Structure 1
Amino acid sequence: MRSVLRATVNIAAWALSISAGAAFASDACEKPVYLTFDTGHMAIAPLVAEVLNRQQVKVTFFGANERTQTGDGSLGKDWAPWWKARAAEGHAFASHTFDHVYWRGDVKAAQKGDPVRFKMRSSAGPDEGREQVWSAEQYCAEIGRSEKRLQDMTGQPPLPLFRAPGGKTSPQLLAAAKSCGYAHVGWAPAGFLGDELPSEAYPNAALLQKALRDIRSGDILLAHLGIWSRKDPWAPAVLEPLIVGLKERGFCFATLREHPAYSAWIKAHPVVAVTPVKTK
């Protein structure tokens, strides 16, 4: 299935990503953490980029084409220069499904041997809010749509990874994605940085204190490029103090290329070039 979604192997890009990982490994500290960002309304995206650049921290971005405060969607042409700049800085990218599609449940097979199907609901795009029933092939294609768009904007093949919106999955959904070449990435309990929570009940100071107290070596951390419902933005208020505080505690930052749970998968599923997708 993955070969259908993608085109020819890009050996040069693959070699570059592997060499970048090797370079990191030679300088790696003993307490790595893996900061990841899912897309959002993008209003804080420039500030996030400034902090990451200033602190020389590399992260992994999971992209979906979500509604934005300005521009034509987080993976639209208006935001393409922002993504290209992040690629030049050495960050990594992976799919978050194109229309930010939530898994809602597995469909019970009418009889033994029926193909697996899933209840899905998009929170963006032309089918926003509408529940649909998808095959495994349709879900793989949806992951691939985001992957293709990220390749088009960044000029580099994304990682063979994905994150389901909300982290909502089932064993059958994960098996379907793996069958077409994608491993799922969740996050550590302490790595939920809380930027989705209401700021009235979860102020930034409390979120920062909790993260600095609870994060452990090897944790995957989750934040977003803007949450509509949070009144007191999490970034950059928490982001830079969190990075500085973790560094002071001996932690370092890496992309998921170096994560021990995914590095073997990435090497076994070489990054490849995909056919560019034009933005409407």
Structure 2
Amino acid sequence: MTAKETLYRVPVRPWRWVPWLVVSQGLVALAWWALGWAWGLPLLLASHALFVVPVFLPNSRFYAPVVSRVAGADVWLTIDDGPSDDTLAVLDLLDRYQAKATFFMVGERAQARPALVHEVLRRGHGIGNHSHSHPQARFWALGPAAMAAQIQGCQQALGELAGSPPRWYRSVVGMTNPFVAAALKRHGLTRVGWSARGFDGVACQPQDVVRRIAADLRPGAIVLLHEGSAHGHNLAIIEGVLEQLQARGLQARLPRASA
């Protein structure tokens, strides 16, 4: 993939949703005043849903730009939640299949295992920001200060370990609330989603995960994978996906972030 093919999109207007919020609530208030609660209440709930639902849609652009596919004939493998006990074995698998991947790392885990961060980079792979502590249950509800701390903490940790800060960011479980974009703009980060997912971060059977991912494997796909999950199947899943890529003549390469 060349720099020209890469969608490198740092948020330009991180608060662009605010006018929509003001206008929508003004219209709700007007409807409530003119038509009563029978209209006002449903409109209030619907207007709130319009701002809540995008938080849970990984490829929604409502709150921040997102890259969900890449141009060209290659596939972008992305591996979340490391470094972990799986990392070295994952690197060996990638070497065996001559594939490259971006590891979206958790800042605290990277600080605890700096040698693994260095090894990922030494073998020619990329790293990305995946929050500092991975607060999975409450990430969607973090306020502006807490969200900024999560993104900045990981950015600082990875920057110190790698020598330069990452250019890519992935939200925890793909959730992006109204306060993500401001931090991305501050650190020059591009948000990355996915187009092929097998739900391998939870209890699963490897063959089912590989089958779901394979259904969406095509040139330009961004594949979401995980490492270090409690179910212990991540290595088998990653190998299965690599086999699928090889069988289809697809190559996993890194995109190049362009300013």
Q: Tell me the TM-score normalized by structure 1.
A: 0.60
> If you compute each CA radius of gyration, which structure gives the higher value, 1 or 2?
2
**What corresponds to 2:167 in structure 1?**
160
Q: Which runs of 5+ in 2 are unaligned?
A: 7-70
* Per-residue deviation, 1:76: 2.7
Tell me, in whole angstroms, the C-alpha distance in 2 between the residues paired with 1:91 and 1:41.
13
**What corresponds to 2:28 in structure 1?**
none
Tell me, in whole angstroms, the C-alpha distance in 1 between the residues paired with 2:151 and 2:125.
19
SS of residue matched to 1:152: helix
**What corresponds to 1:36 in structure 2?**
78
Structure with greater strand share of residues: 1
**What corresponds to 2:227 in structure 1?**
225
What does the per-residue CA deviation read over 1:69-114, in whole Å, with 9 as the maximum and x for residues that have no partner?
xxxx52134x111110111111111111112245655xxxxxxxxx
Residues 244, 183 of structure 1: alpha-carbon distance in 2 compared, 3 angstrom cutoff: same
Residues 33, 213 of structure 1: alpha-carbon distance in 2 compared, 3 angstrom cutoff: same
What does the per-residue CA deviation read over 1:29-51, in whole Å, with 9 as the maximum and x for residues that have no partner?
95311110112571222211110
**What corresponds to 1:235 in structure 2?**
234
Tell me, in whole angstroms, the C-alpha distance in 1 between the residues paired with 2:109 and 2:185.
28
Percent identical: 25
Pair 1:253 & 2:259 matched: no
Residues 173, 139 of structure 1: alpha-carbon distance in 2 compared, 3 angstrom cutoff: same
2:181 to 172, 175, 197: 175
Tell me, in whole angstroms, the C-alpha distance in 1 between the residues paired with 2:166 and 2:193.
15
**What corresponds to 2:159 in structure 1?**
151
Matches within 5 A, 1:20-169: 31-40=73-82, 42-65=84-107, 74-77=109-112, 79-101=113-135, 119-120=141-142, 133-135=143-145, 139-155=147-163, 157-169=164-176
Residues 179, 214 of structure 1: alpha-carbon distance in 2 compared, 3 angstrom cutoff: closer
* Per-residue deviation, 1:167: 0.6
Quick one: which amino acid aligns to residue 249 of structure 2? G
Residues 104, 53 of structure 1: alpha-carbon distance in 2 compared, 3 angstrom cutoff: closer
2:200 to 186, 195, 208: 195
Q: Which ranges of 4 or more aligned residues in structure 1 deviate by more than 6 Å?
A: none
Q: Say whether the 8 Å CA contact 1:61–1:93 is kept in structure 2.
A: yes
Quick one: which amino acid aligns to residue 169 of structure 1? T
Q: Which runs of 5+ in 1 are unaligned?
A: 1-19, 66-72, 106-118, 121-132, 258-265, 269-280
Aligned residues: 192
Tell me, in whole angstroms, the C-alpha distance in 2 between the residues paired with 1:21 and 1:86.
21
* Per-residue deviation, 1:194: 2.2
* Per-residue deviation, 1:141: 4.1
**What corresponds to 1:208 in structure 2?**
210
Residues 41, 178 of structure 1: alpha-carbon distance in 2 compared, 3 angstrom cutoff: closer
